[in-house]
Amino acid sequence: MSLAMMRQGNQLAFTSERHRTDRSELGPGLIDQLPFFVIPYELETDPSVVKRGPLQDTEPSSKHLSEGRPETGVGGLSTSGNASLRPIFKIHPRQIAQQRSLVLQQWEGTVVEIKGDSFGARMRNLTDPKGPEEWATLLLGEISEEDRCSVQPGAVFYWSVGYLIEPYGQRRTASTIYFRRLPAWSSADLERARNAAEEYRDIFPDSPVE
Amino acid sequence: MPLKNIVTSSLTAQLSDLPPGDTIEVSVFGKGIGECVVVHLGAGEWLIADSLIDSSAGCPVALDYLRGIGVDVTTAVKLVVVTHWHRDHTDGIAELFEQTASAEVVFSQALRSAEFRELLGRDKVLSPANSSLAEMRSLIEILRERRRKDGQQPGGPTWALENRLLRKTPDGDVFSLSPSDGAISLALREIRSLITSEGASVGRLCAQRPNETCIVLSVRLGDKVVILGADLEAGRDATLGWKAIAGSRTRPHMRASCFKIPHHGSSNAHEPLVWETLFTPSRIGVLTPYRALRNPIPTSQDIERLLTCTTQLYCAGGLAAVRGPRRPSSVEKLIAGRLHSAEARMGHVRARFPPAGTAIVDTFGSAKRL
């Protein structure tokens, strides 16, 4: 199941492409993969929240979230003429702007070994580069499903720990691991690499016996 | 193996002592991650195998040591050997080579190919800061700069392969005992596998098995021989690793009395035939620990095994990790014990073999006899 984000005016909303609005359809695994700033919001499950009309500044509150419906209209979020495409939840841009993270420590890791349900990695402290090299043993379960195929020896990832600061000042501890994605080689990249390699021809010839 | 009289320890050893011209010296440095070996070849000439940064000195430990004992590194170091391109053996090797202006660099013959050249080119395009190849590329740039200035080929590279004479000294020689032909073929296959085609993922330019293409060195001065085992593993068949060296009919046949034990004393580098065929009955073993693993090596079983193979066994570098950095308790709570320091305190084992008499082994820093 995938999510689509809609933006209209100054509001954002997420919908499922399959037009499902039941939170249970998303499953906890998928919800956990959503970026931090989305997670704090409960999903709207009542299609009646979709109203048409001019976009208004909406100030979501805990009351709205607990009741499952906003008090003000969100007409700009619906897609006219397509009743099945419904907003799941909405985020006010002021909310996003006010949410921030405070990173206390960050490391760059290189996967060395994978054993059972965990993997080991050499860790370089990015917050204090003069610190000693460290070793981490991390559970594969801490890695998102999407990133799990990237967990291979030599793969580079980043681990940050700190706080997520909510719009109203509440702090939550946070630990995030994400893997560096490597793109596919393009013909232009390969041409640059070939040119770079040519610079080494005098030392590394074509044949081992040259 | 209770041969007590072959080794003594000079209780008043000073790091600043220069070895006599007729004495072969092996100095092994380790700090939990990384390894460097410095060898006096005789008559004031030196060889350095691999590199490791001493964080307190802020420079390659070999340079710090040699300068400390009064050696002019620009003229006295004759060979800089890159045994393989794992990061823990190449840390600071470009700086080391830059400072040793009279040295030739020695690479494994397994790297002498168009494929490895292409790998270097791709690594340059990607420019990852922590790449295993970045230090190699820096070293190669220094080598090319020397060629441009001098117009000839000072600085090498010299290509190491099994049983090749790398340097002749007035009363000794330096041979490479590996890589074997089988290892070179294997290395080429692996390097090719790292070179993906257009549209394919960039992948990691990180070979998993360069240990099999390691350069093992045999250094002789008079009738004293030392063997530096790098990270060479035992080998899956008779054409690879230590099996290939032990089974070789063309290697130099003088037996050695000192062994820089391969691959941090790990069981995957243990080949019983090696001890029978390459060494005298009384032999000193020196290893470096490697802590960047779930189960750091050597393990206690490794140490027990090696104690039965050697007359005396030394470890350069502490077996326990240094204390990790101080962190706020909030961070410690989030880490939840998943992180520990991989480094140990720097250790230095120095073994000197005078032409007559007993060997003298001294330990400095966290190094100790096991």
pLDDT of residue A147: 85
Instruction: List all residues of chain B from 145 to 164 with a beta carbon under 8 Å from chain A.
Output: 147, 157
* A71-83 exposure pattern, b = at least 16 Cβ within 10 A, e = fewer: eebbbbbbeeeee
Task: Verify cis geometry, omega within 30 degrees of 0, for the bond prior to B157.
Answer: yes
A48 φ/ψ sector (left φ>0, alpha ψ -120 to 50, else beta):
alpha
Q: Say which residue, B71 or A47, is predicted with more confidence.
A: B71
Q: Cβ contacts of residue A154 below 8 Å, gap of 6+? A: A110, A111, B204, B206, B208
Sorted by where each begins, the domain ranges of chain A are 3-98, 100-179
Q: Which residue has the higher pLDDT, B173 or A1?
A: B173
Q: What is the CATH number of the domain that holds B131?
A: 3.60.15.10
Note the pLDDT of residue B125: 83
Higher model confidence: residue B13 or residue A155? A155
The parts of chain B modelled with pLDDT lower than 70 are 1-14, 128-131, 150-153, 197-210
pLDDT of residue A168: 80
B61 belongs to a structural domain: yes
End-to-end, the C-alpha distance of chain B in Å comes to 14
pLDDT in tens, B34-76: 899 999 999 999 999 999 998 888 899 999 999 999 999 999 9
Task: Decide if pLDDT at A35 tops 80.
Answer: no
Pairing mode of beta strands B279-287, B312-315: parallel
Residue B155 confidence (pLDDT) = 77
Q: Report percent pLDDT > 90 for chain A.
A: 3
Q: How far apart are CA B223 and CA B353, in angstroms?
A: 10
pTM for this one?
A: 0.77
- Contact (CB, 8 A) for B227 and B261: no
Q: What pLDDT is attached to residue B102?
A: 92
Asked if residue A55 has pLDDT above 80, the reply is no
What residues of B are in contact with residue A153 (Cβ under 8 Å)? 204, 206, 208
For residue B166, the model assigns a pLDDT of 96
How is residue B342 written in tokens? 């991989």
**Amino acid letter, A165:** I
Q: Does B200 touch chain A (CB under 8 A)?
A: yes
In contact, A146 and A177? CB cutoff 8 Å: no
Domain assignment present for B88 = yes
pLDDT given for residue A52 in this prediction: 35
Query: To 5 degrees, how large is the angle CA A155–CA B105–CA B361?
Result: 90
Strands B347-353 and B164-169: unpaired
Please name the residue that has the structure tokens 């790398």. B166
**Rounded to whole angstroms, how far apart are CA atoms B61 and B67?**
10
Contact B227, B217 (CB under 8 A): yes
Give A34's pLDDT tier (boundaries 50, 70, 90).
very low
pLDDT reported for residue B202 = 59
Residue B232 near residue B212, CB atoms below 8 Å: yes
Q: What would the mean pLDDT of A25-45 be, rounded to a whole number? A: 36
Q: Over chain A, what is the mean pLDDT?
A: 63
Place of tokens 């700009």: A76
The pLDDT of residue B306 is: 96
Cβ count near A101 (within 10 Å): 15
Please answer whether residues B207 and B137 qualify as being in contact, where contact means their C-beta atoms are separated by less than 8 angstroms. Answer: no
Residue B329, CA distances (Å) to A104, A127, B333, B334, B339 in order: 11, 16, 6, 9, 14
CB contact under 8 A, A137 and B327: no
Q: Give the one of A105, A156, A190 whose C-beta lies nearest to B198's C-beta.
A: A190
pLDDT value for A124: 87
Q: How many helices (H) and strands (E) does chain A have?
A: 5, 8
In a domain, B17, yes or no: no
Angle between helices B134-150 and B114-126 (to 10 degrees): 110
* Range of the structural domain that residue B119 is part of: 4-10+22-369
Please write the tens of the pLDDT for every residue from B203-258.
565 655 667 789 999 999 999 999 999 999 987 788 999 999 999 988 887 899 99
- Residue A79, pLDDT above cutoff 70: no
In a domain, B16, yes or no: no
What is the reported pLDDT for A178?
87
Rounded to whole angstroms, the Cα distance separating A103 from A69 reads 33
B303: in domain: yes
User: End-to-end CA distance of chain A, in Å?
Assistant: 57
Minimum Cα–Cα distance from A207: chain B residue:
B113
Tens digits of per-residue pLDDT, A158-178? 999 988 888 788 888 888 898
Provide DSSP, B251-303.
S--PPEEEEE-GGGG-GGG--HHHHHHHEEEEEEEEE--B-SSSS-BS-HHHH
Please count the helices (runs of H) and the strands (runs of E) in chain B: 11, 20
Query: A17 pLDDT band (50/70/90 cuts)?
Result: very low
Please state the φ and ψ torsions of residue B128, each to the nearest 5 degrees: -75, 135
Question: Which chain A residue shows the shortest CA-CA distance from B345?
Answer: A132
Distance of alpha carbon A150 from alpha carbon A138, whole angstroms: 14
Closest to A182 (Cβ–Cβ): which among B55, B109, B201?
B201
- B196 touches B204 (CB < 8 A): no
Give B237's contacts (C-beta < 8 A, 6+ positions apart): B182, B243
Task: Give the Cα separation of A113 and A139 in Å (integer).
Answer: 12
Mean pLDDT of A196-206: 86
* Residue B327 contacts A where some CB pair is shorter than 8 Å: yes
Distance CA B349, CA B287 (A): 9
The alpha carbon of B56 is separated from its chain's Cα centroid by a whole number of angstroms, namely 21
For testing the chain B interface, which of A125, A159, A161 should be mutated: the one with the most B CBs within 10 Å?
Answer: A161
pLDDT tens for A85-126 read: 455 555 556 555 567 888 888 999 988 888 888 899 989 888
Angle between helices B114-126 and A187-198 (to 10 degrees): 120
Of B118, B292, B343, the CB nearest to A197: B118
CATH for the stretch A100-179: 2.40.50
Give how far Cα B123 sits from Cα of A28, A62, B126, B185, B188, Å. 40, 51, 5, 22, 17
Q: For residue range A127-154, what is the model confidence (pLDDT) as tens digits? A: 887 777 888 989 998 888 888 888 888 7
Q: Which residue of B has its CA nearest to A192?
A: B125
**Residue B128 forms contact with A (CB below 8 Å):** yes
* CA B217 distance to own-chain centroid: 9
Q: What are the strands, taking DSSP E only, across chain A?
A: 3-8, 11-16, 89-91, 100-115, 118-125, 134-139, 156-165, 171-179
